A and B are shown apart, each in its own frame.
Chain A
Amino acid sequence: MKAAAASLIVLALLIGVIPQFTDCQSQGKAIQLPNGKTLPMKCHWTARAEIAVAVPLLLSGILLISCRHRESRRNAALMTIVSGLLGILLPTVLIGVCAKPDMPCYALMKPTLVLAGSLVVALGAGCFIRAVRQRDANP
């Protein structure tokens, strides 16, 4: 459980940090308006939203390490699964990334988040099963 929780903390950091350096805005790319102003591309908002996924995920990891109660671990694992799913859905369905495959957000950010999110869901499911099986005598 501790190894899984430690992995979750690392994954939470990856989910929170990597998008900030692989979105188009960080590479100096933006939508140019006819009046000369620039707008961030949608991958920028995905990157920002991933911070909101990473923080609860980080807390879940810490909870899974520090809490010994079955219910707490079970709930933290559930929160982990939901965070992982959101981590996948943000760049794929909910907000998305730029459409061109040569954009860094499409080539790097999206697959990294999908991969990390899948690992989070798998680890969360593992932790949930272990928490459910955890004996009451050893809460």
Chain B
Amino acid sequence: MNVPRLIHRNVTRNPFRSGVVFSCAFLLAALPFAVTFITEGGRASLQRVLGRLGADLLIVPEGAEVKVETALLMGKPAPVWMPRENLDKIARMPEVARLSPQVHLATLAGASCCSASEMFIVVYEPDTDFTLRPWLDQHLGRELGPGEVIGGSQVFLPNPKANILVYGSPVSLKGNLARSGTGLDQTLFMTSETAREVARMSKTRAEQELVVPTNQISAILVKLQPGTLPERVAARIAREVSGVTVIQSPALFQATRRELTGLMRIIFVILTLVWLLSVTVAGLIFSLAAHERRRELGVLRALGSSRAFVFRLLLAEAAALAFAGAAGGIALCLTLAFCFQEAIVFLLKIPFLFPPPLLLAALVLGGLLVALLSVVLAALVPIWRISRMEPAQAMRE
């Protein structure tokens, strides 16, 4: 009988004992993996949104930073306004390389003149825009024409030839941005020309007129000259332009980041307790198993097996159970996360995107290692003690 077969028979012979160790390893791997996976998924999502904005500074009306962040993260429309003249004041600053205004709108709730209820609409100016420019260059190769829009990854039409109805005006969906795991996936992007046309037609076609103020904007995206310190420019803008809040790109979504960090801290405490409990239970199970199997291991020794062989055999048994439990736990977490990624975003109210493949591989390996090392560590002392026992003594007792 070879070693793997011996391990298999030992594991299957006592399903309760093996089941408990399997469950401990399952918990040891699944819990830390799930927590780090979701927080890293949240960070990956925020990172993608920041990369897509492509701005060093985001300028919003004073006190509207949470509303704008919520609109960008959860796609909940919150039209906020500031004077358009702010744009000229900021453009005059030598540190500013490019800047582009945005107007945030929303479709009507439950109105027949709008295909989607309360959909977040971002209106941009093609002449100055640098947020959608890379996508347009790569996928469309031209500017959006009048009546044309781009949608987030979840904006679609049941019939590809149909149009989306916005305030009674049909607009044509020309493509979808990559998934970001945030509310931007449900956002519609249109040029200011299209928005003005939709607003003009809404007087006769919509249940309620769309008002796009010509002298008001919702946000300004600013790209700085290379080598410029963003904090210095942010301070200058705050000093010279009244009624605005300047958010530096790394500080964007701070509330969500704090939430993720806070969640991580709370769960870390719970995880430590679960880890201690699981290691203790696994250690206890291995102590009982070692005691129960003294005769059997004594016979093995009497038949000529060395101490090292018995030690390795028991350790391999523990490692096999730990690996199976950890792999099962991680596989379940991944399956659930894959199936319920929309639920994570919209029910837990946190952004979520599958982390990049390398990070994902590192998380999987980390989860497996934590469980493997913990179970092996818990089993080490009882296994060492039983393997040191003389065969005669083991069989007599």
Contacts and interface: CB of A to CB of B under 8 A. Distances in A.
Contacts of B185: 101
A34 interface: yes
Interface string B112-150: 100010000000000000000000000000000000000
A114 B338 CA distance: 12
B60 to A, nearest CB: 24
Q: What DSSP secondary structure best describes chain A's contact surface? A: helix
A111 B156 CA distance: 19
Interface string B187-217: 0000000000000000000000000000000
Nearest to B340: A111
Given A100-B116, A100-B186, A107 B342 contact: yes
A128 interface: no
B340 A108 contact: yes
Contact of A106 (B110, B335, B342): B342
Contact of A114 (B75, B110, B156, B339): B339
A115 interface: yes
A137 interface: no
Contacts of A102: 75, 186, 342, 345-346
Q: Which of A102, A104, A112, A114 has the most chain B CB within a 10 Å cutoff?
A: A102
Interface string A73-97: 0000000000000000000000000
Given A32-B110, A99-B156, A111 B186 contact: no
B347 interface: yes
Interface in B87-133: 110, 112, 116
B335 A115 contact: yes
Contact of B347 (A99, A100, A108, A114): A108
Contact of B346 (A32, A101, A111, A115): A101
A18 to B, nearest CB: 13
A132 B342 CA distance: 40
Interface in A30-77: 32, 34
Interface residues of A, number: 14
A114 B343 CA distance: 14
A93 to B, nearest CB: 13
Nearest to B347: A107
Nearest to A31: B110
A101 B186 contact: yes
Contacts of A107: 340, 342-343, 345-347
Contacts of B110: 32
B245 interface: no
A26 to B, nearest CB: 15
Contacts of A108: 340, 343, 347
Contacts of A106: 342
Given A34-B112, A107-B347, A101 B339 contact: no
Interface in B148-162: 154, 156, 158
Contacts of B186: 100-102
A111 B339 contact: yes
A34 B116 CA distance: 16
Contacts of B342: 101-102, 106-107, 111
Interface in A87-139: 99-102, 104, 106-108, 111-112, 114-115
A134 B26 CA distance: 33
Contacts of A101: 154, 185-186, 342, 345-346
Interface string B366-389: 000000000000000000000000
Nearest to B185: A101
Q: Which of B110, B186, B335, B340 has the most chain A CB within a 10 Å cutoff?
A: B340
A42 B145 CA distance: 35
Contacts of B339: 111-112, 114-115
Interface in A16-34: 32, 34
B137 to A, nearest CB: 28
Interface of A: 32, 34, 99-102, 104, 106-108, 111-112, 114-115
14 contacts: A99-B156, A101-B185, A101-B342, A101-B346, A102-B186, A102-B342, A102-B346, A104-B347, A106-B342, A107-B342, A107-B347, A111-B340, A111-B343, A115-B335
Given A100-B186, A101-B185, A114-B339, 15 more contacts: A32-B110, A99-B156, A100-B154, A101-B154, A101-B346, A102-B75, A102-B345, A106-B342, A107-B340, A107-B342, A107-B345, A107-B346, A107-B347, A108-B343, A112-B339
6 tightest Cβ-Cβ pairs between the two chains A and B:
A111-B339, A107-B343, A102-B346, A107-B342, A101-B342, A115-B339
